[in-house]
Amino acid sequence: MSIASQLMTHAKALSILYVEDDKKIRAEIAEFLDRFFLTVDLADNGKEGLLKYKEKHYDIVITDLNMPVMGGIEMSKALKKKHPEQPIVIISAHNESEYLLELINIGVEHYVLKPIDMKSFAKALDVLAAHIYNTELFNKYHKNIEQDNERLAHKVTSTTAELKNQRNTDTLTGLQNLSALMSTLEEFEKMKDGFAVIILLDIRGFRSINDLYGPAAGNQVLIDLGDFLKRFAYDNTYRLYRISGDQFVLYEQTSYLDTDRYDDHLSELKTEINGLSIYLEKFDKEISLTMTIGMSFGQESPLEHANMALNNAKKNNKSHAVYNTTLDMTDEIKAQFAWQHKIDLAILSDQIIPVYQPIVDSSGNIVKYETLMRVIEEVDGEKRLIAPFHFLDIAIENRQYDTLSRMVILKALKGLAANDYSISINLTMDDINNKPFLDEIYNTIKKDKTEKRLIIEITESQSVENYRSLKDLVEKFKQLGIRFAIDDFGSGFSNFERILEIQPDYIKIDGSLIKDINTNTHTHILTNAITSFSHELGIKVIAEYVHSEEIFFILKQFGVDEFQGYYFSEPQIEINRASQIQ
């Protein structure tokens, strides 16, 4: 499942308050958030954000740091004072590295730099949304168990029905929402009775309406359009849903596909919407709407297919598109199957190997090696090493990752026992949750007495849904004398409190911060700040992705302890301890 699909699943019932004084940035990020979250409310500054927060609860608060009237830190302090568990994400493009420790002290765990990489932003939001989503599922499960008193059966039934209605209803228009549509589609998938028809409508330039006339006018547009679509749905026997900020769905389940009928409906919709005028009383102005429409009918993945059609229409500047197989990601799917087959062959032929990249001190002397994974692929009689970038996501999706990880780590530990160098190995949360594998690693290290020369790296950017299992791992392995590192630090929403609880020996600053530190003021400041507060906590700092002498020199000035990157050496199959940078 893609990150976008995961985020849509986890965030569909969540609300966001987004506080940003830059109108252009606010519009761009709000449009992105509207695709996934049930409610996205906006504020210009911290004071306005607090006023909105008093009116209703938000699952996530995202805020800029430096704003007029009231900044993000002041607003966060006020929110955390009354609601300590409130998740807050700080976004900033200015020189506020000195505020990092203050953010930690007030309990703000998440921090991201502008300009925002939207793919990483979506992944990080999914980590946060998934935690909220899973927590709610857990709480609901236990609540249902406790409600076993027969005297309250009727009350529980009626209350559940009411909550279900609220959960499935869009509060602005009174229409059914995305949650209701997904429930309907789940039932359809189970029954496989007939065909599902979906007409997905998207308002062109809706964000401009909000920017020109304000959110109240935007809400009025949505309400009036909803009323129009209600009449159309009633006249033509569709169910109507509002599934996101400016997207509506007309849905029908039918035993017979009358394509001429649906062609007529598309034509009627486009004609009537193009002739629809919405009067904004406050501005004494009528505005017209333009819609882009994606349509699908079939038995498999109707909403996803309608969305493909909608995106195709937008891409080609068309008023509508109807899903067909040519819109599908055929080449990508074929490539995924090809990689799945390659991985299976590599496992069977024992072509999954560890490679080692040196980590050096400030003098360029090699102090240890990081263990990395490679697949050996033979092309035209020549063997080449393939990095996980090309296949890791596919391996995880197809449940091949556990085997790959086990092969690489056990081979690395075997090599460690036969030599006298030090290495680090990477453990993901999948590894940490795999208790038999952890026991195998533990027993191997204890038997070979290699614990003093081993570092375990935990990826900071990964979702840690079962934090207890991570703490148990750290406590157990530290008793042997094994050291720990937080890998990829700064690549996602850094959870400082949990990092401090783990008490790592090293923090490895992610390559996304290091690679352009010589030209990017923001990463320059943040890297310096991370190094400073790590040293104050007695934690050594390792910089990844060091690819030039200039960057090496800058990092040494910061006081970074150790360095890794192609400037020193590429990953090697054979460990060559003679290599050294002078």
pLDDT tens-digit series, residues 550-571? 999 999 999 999 999 999 999 9
Residue type, 299: Q
Residues whose CB is less than 8 angstroms from the CB of residue 142 and which lie 6 or more positions away in sequence, other chains included? none
Burial class of residue 582, CB neighbours in 10 A (0-12, 13-18, 19+): exposed
In a domain, residue 338? The reply is no
Per-residue confidence (pLDDT) for residue 579, from 0 to 100:
42
Judged against a pLDDT cut of 90, whether residue 241 lies above it is answered with: yes
Instruction: Indicate whether 271 and 307 sit together in one domain.
Output: yes
In sequence order, the 6+-apart residues with CB closer than 8 A to the CB of 39 are: 14, 15, 16, 171
Q: What is the CATH number of the domain that holds 90?
A: 3.40.50.2300
Q: Identify the band that residue 94 occupies on the pLDDT scale cut at 50, 70 and 90.
A: low
Range of the domain at 547: 351-564
Q: How far apart are CA 7 and CA 130, in angstroms?
A: 8
Alpha helices in 316-420 (DSSP H): 330-348, 392-397, 401-417
Distance CA 543, CA 511 (A): 7
pLDDT at 359 over 80: yes
pLDDT range class, residue 580, cuts 50, 70, 90: very low
What is the Cα–Cα distance from 116 to 582, expressed in whole angstroms?
37
- The structure tokens listed for 225 are 């359009």
CA distances from 485 to 27, 107, 360, 503, 512 (A): 38, 23, 16, 9, 18
Residues 275 and 400 in one domain: no
Cα 249 from Cα 240, distance rounded (Å): 6
Number of domains, the chain: 3
pLDDT category, 496, cuts 50, 70, 90? Answer: low
CATH number at residue 286: 3.30.70.270
334 is a domain residue: no
- Residue among 540, 532, 537, 433 nearest 485 (CA): 540
With contact defined as beta carbons under 8 Å apart, do 45 and 18 qualify?
A: no
The pLDDT tens digits for 165-182 are 667 888 888 899 888 888
Judge residue 78's burial from the number of C-beta atoms within 10 Å of its C-beta, 0-12 exposed, 13-18 middle, 19 or more buried. Answer: middle
pLDDT higher than threshold 50 for residue 2:
yes
Task: Look at residue 314 and tell me if it is in a domain.
Answer: yes
Residue 548 or 388, more confident: 548
Q: Which own/partner contact pairs does 51-55 have at CB distance under 8 Å and 24+ positions apart?
A: 52/17, 53/17, 53/79
The model's pLDDT over 280-304, given as tens digits with 9 standing for 90+, comes to: 888 888 888 888 999 988 778 888 8
Span 122-147, average pLDDT: 79
Give percent of the chain with pLDDT exceeding 70: 88
Mean pLDDT of the chain: 85
Q: What is the pLDDT of residue 582?
A: 33
Residue 276 falls inside a structural domain: yes
CATH number of the structural domain spanning residue 525: 3.20.20.450
Res 331: pLDDT:
59
Kindly state whether residues 104 and 188 are assigned to the same domain. Answer: no
Residues with Cβ within 8 Å of 577's Cβ and at least 6 positions away in sequence, in order, are 366, 421
In tens, the pLDDT along 188-197 reads 888 777 888 9
In a domain, 241, yes or no: yes
What b/e string do you get for 340-364 counting C-beta neighbours within 10 Å, with b at 16 or more? Answer: bebbeebbeeebbbbbbbbbbeeee
Residues making up the chain, counted from first to last: 582
Of 102-106, 229-233, 415-419, where does mean pLDDT reach its minimum?
A: 102-106
Per-residue pLDDT at 395 exceeds 60:
yes
Residue 481 per-residue DSSP state: T
What pairing do the DSSP bridges indicate for beta strands 291-298 and 320-322? parallel
358 sits in which H/E element: strand 352-360
pLDDT at 316 over 90: no
* DSSP character at residue 116: P
Together in a domain, 132 and 201:
no
CB-based contacts of 536, cutoff 8 Å, min separation 6? none
pLDDT score of 274: 78
Residue 88 CB contacts under 8 Å (≥ 6 apart), including other chains: 60, 61, 62, 63, 76, 79, 80, 108, 109, 110
Q: Which residues of 119-131 are buried (b: 16+ CB within 10 A; e: fewer)?
A: ebbbbbbbbbbbb
Q: Are both 111 and 223 inside the same structural domain?
A: no
**Amino acid residing at 196:** A
Report pTM: 0.48
Closest CA to 352 of 315, 314, 405: 405
What DSSP letter does each residue of 254-269 carry, written as one string? ESS--HHHHHHHHHHH
359 and 486, same domain (yes or no): yes
Q: Are residues 233 and 310 in the same domain?
A: yes
The verdict on residue 578 lying in a domain is no
516 and 430 in a common domain = yes
pLDDT for 556? 95
Cα-flanking dihedrals φ and ψ of residue 487, to 5°?
Answer: -90, 160
Beta bridge partners of 285: 280
Give the integer Cα–Cα distance in Å for 52 and 561: 45
Spatial distance between the Cα atoms of 165 and 169, rounded to a whole number of angstroms: 6
Strands (DSSP E) contained in 127-209 are: 195-203
Is there a domain that residue 513 lies in? yes
Tell me how far apart the alpha carbons of residues 568 and 549 are, in angstroms, rounded to a whole number: 9
* Structure confidence at residue 444 (pLDDT): 95
pLDDT at 150: 56
The pairs formed by 433-438 with CB atoms below 8 angstroms and a separation of 24 or more are 433/466, 433/469, 434/402, 437/402, 437/405, 437/406, 438/473
Tokens of 405: 């990880």
Q: How confident is the model at residue 98 (pLDDT cuts 50, 70, 90)?
A: low
Task: Examine the domain organization and report whether 183 and 243 are in the same domain.
Answer: yes
Q: Is the dihedral angle over the CA atoms 368, 372, 375, 381 positive or is it negative?
A: negative
Integer angstrom CA distances of residue 543 from 98, 113, 126, 486, 560: 20, 18, 27, 12, 7
d(CA 531, CA 558): 7
Residues 5 and 130: their CA atoms lie apart, in Å, by 12
The verdict on 486 and 401 lying in the same domain is: yes
366 within some domain:
yes
**Contact (CB, 8 A) for 360 and 552:** no
* Residue 287 shares a structural domain with residue 176: yes
Residues 183 and 77 in one domain: no
CA nearest to 218, candidates 404, 361, 31: 31
